[in-house]
A and B are shown apart, each in its own frame.
Chain A
Amino acid sequence: MSKPAIETGSTDNASTDTASADSTSTATRRARTAKDPKNPKAAKDRHPEEPAHTPEYVLEARDVSKHFTVRGALGRTTVVHAVEDATVRLKPGQILALVGESGSGKTTLARMLARFHEPTSGEIVLRGEAVSRSGRARRGYHSEVQLIFQDPFGSLNPMHRVRYNLDRALRLHHRHLTAAEREERTTQLLERVSLTPAAEFAAKFPHELSGGQRQRVVIARALAVEPKVLLGDEPISMLDVSIRLEMLNLLQRLRTEDGLALLYITHDIASARYLCDDIAVMYAGQMVESGPKEAVIASPQHPYTKLLIESSPDPERGVGDREAFFAGADELGEPPSLIDPPTGCRFHPRCPFAMKECGEQAPPRAELGDGHWAKCWLHARGRAGELADTTHAAATAARREALQGAS
């Protein structure tokens, strides 16, 4: 049943491959994304030969929520609403970036997808089938979905050589392999992640490797089980700047060669743009905007996405009027408490465009075409054009002045 899915993946990949090889990669990729409708119905129209039951998505989280109960002093319990009704869908060969501030729930969502946490509500769907909670099912699940952690210094067993670290994954997930086959597989894996000569690296201990090399071993270990989906929780943020790109290029290559789907979790929007096809933005546990990367970055349709993009350092802005870049950026506010989140739109206390309804009712989802959507009242009220006219900092400053003038 996985066959059609892989085929979809490889057609996707073929175009990506050519796209990344030539210099007009963005244009080609954008054209591809434009032709590639995100909603399942349209995609089914495109492949009429596909049997109806073939799932389009390799991994989905459908309306998942996660609430953590925290027992405080004096026996008081509080509930942290870490993730609320989030939906993520990954096609084979697709790279989706999940961006947001820390505390936005992106790691919790990844951990639910990796099944480290069971969702409080909603379901995780692997190739069209809801996953069960049994231990046996869990091992089967992990042979398809693997998580790459942020910290390559903490995720390899320091007492054992690289060979052992990889061999263990092979032994657990491919029980039929003989020792010689596993040894051969280990060599192949190390070569796939460009750790050559493989024999030399296999004999090293994790502490003998640099951060980038360790993260490669972590990726090789994830690949050992031949997964269909990789979940990368800030996989490059602990690495040195000069080797981050190598890691992104490696992930890109794995997608192209194997049709791996990747959920790339980050707060670095520039790297997300470099690697991914689509971007989903989370704020305070909820999805607020999602769509093709260029559409989201060039014209964000949610005030929070706009704030995030305008806050990101951009060398291309060049070295110019520094005071202008930072004007009004003194007070951009902080994410709310997830124990008692704001009513209505959770961003409204920080939002310079907030209206009365923003604090009362959760905003409806506005479909903006081409799979791009945003949850913001501005769209329902026909004020979405204001987003492009100003910067977040300027709008915040103007609003503050207006409020001071009124009082």
Chain B
Amino acid sequence: MTVHAEKPLQPMIPAGQAVLDVRGLTVEYATGAEPVRACTDISFTLRRGEILGVAGESGSGKSTLITALTRLQRPPAVTTGGEILFHGRDGAKPVDLVTLDGRQLRRYRWTALSIVLQSAMDALNPVMRIGAQFADVLRAHDRTLGKRAAWARAEELLALVGISADRVRDYPHQLSGGMRQRAAIALALACRPELVVMDEPTTAVDVVMQRQILAQVLRLRRELGFAVVFVTHDLSLLLELADRIAVMYAGRIVEVGEAAAIYGAPKHPYTQGLRDSFPPLHAPLRDLHGIPGTPPDLRRPPAGCPFHPRCARRTDGCDERLPLLLPVGRDAGHEAACLLNETDGDHGGETR
């Protein structure tokens, strides 16, 4: 295993250098008479080598966001607005992934951006040996690569995630669930992408394997310098893993900021409720209540702030006016969409 001892992370990631710039992304499902908006006006910037966590409940639009980012969506999902600007390594002009057709996109898949899906069993071909699947990907992107060299490279890639070289001839069903997920991660890294999108890669595995996988993702990120969009419903996981966290609710980003700020000083009542939905492992226990109610039906979203029917702190105007995602708090880049922050400035944080 080649470990380039790059200790400090910062030099590899020049501040402000973006790899992905998402602006006003809106995705609709064109079903029935009225299209359903699953993602509305999503904007964020992902810096090179950064891990951005996207947290949200089921139905919050996080999976729709992922398929839109990677252009893997299928009808009836349609991107109806916004742009996804991808900045290449070579410093060329950014490209808008939304406007590319299938052939143009193929130049970016695997080499620029790749995806790790929730279920590795579904992502890997069950009737192909692991090595053959790696060779497939590697040789499709590098026509000069011979078969033998591709298999050797597959062994190297598996070693990156701690799978021994003799497993390269195994079929997916011969690997354990954790190994399959690690193999899927190694496969996503095969062509050295700059951005890896991970859709709940650890929900199907146990806590111990989850920790192993996350440790490997962090190490590989340090060695290879790719950026990650990590989507999960488990905010407690993101607090430990991500550099920045975006919290989604009813198809919108309601708060985004550094992981420390999201944990220490959340400014949106939903984020606060989500954070307080995890019982502590060591701190003294107290009665917790989660968030009452259920997420809204996106076919009939509530007027005003979509969270107001469940919000304990709603005030006048919450059911009329949609709050904007505005800078809050002391930390740079911390934004929240809540009227409380618009009216009383800096002190939206303390609701215990």
Which A residues have a C-beta under 8 Å from some C-beta of B?
20, 23, 25-26, 101-102, 210-213, 240-246, 248-249, 267-271, 273-274, 297-298, 307-319, 322-323, 325-332, 334
Contact = CB atoms under 8 A, between A and B. Distances in A.
Contact of B206 (A101, A298, A310, A315): A101
Given A267-B206, A311-B210, A315-B236, A323 B218 contact: yes
Interface in B191-232: 206-212, 214-216, 218-219
Per CB-CB distance, the 8 closest pairs between chain A and chain B, nearest first, are: A245-B290, A274-B279, A329-B215, A242-B291, A326-B215, A314-B281, A319-B260, A311-B211
A322 B240 contact: yes
B294 interface: yes
Interface stretch (B69-77, B88-96, B269-277, B338-346): B269-277
B279 A273 contact: yes
A319 B236 contact: no
Given A102-B206, A322-B218, 9 more contacts: A20-B287, A101-B206, A243-B290, A245-B289, A246-B289, A249-B289, A270-B281, A315-B236, A318-B239
16 contacts: A241-B233, A241-B274, A242-B273, A242-B277, A245-B288, A248-B279, A312-B207, A313-B234, A315-B280, A316-B282, A318-B263, A318-B264, A319-B264, A326-B219, A331-B162, A331-B212
B319 interface: no
A306 to B, nearest CB: 11
Contact of B58 (A240, A274, A297): A240
Nearest to B178: A334
Contacts, number: 148
Contacts of B236: 270, 313-315
A297 B233 contact: no
- Interface size bracket, B side: 35 or more
A274 B218 CA distance: 30
A319 B279 CA distance: 16
B289 A330 contact: no
Nearest to A249: B289
B241 interface: yes
Nearest to B208: A311
Interface string B289-312: 111101100000000000000000
B176 interface: yes
A269 B212 contact: no
Nearest to A314: B281
B284 A26 contact: yes
B124 interface: no
Nearest to B57: A240
Contacts of A328: 215
B306 to A, nearest CB: 14
Given A210-B294, A240-B57, A316 B273 contact: no
A243 B233 CA distance: 12
A334 B279 CA distance: 27
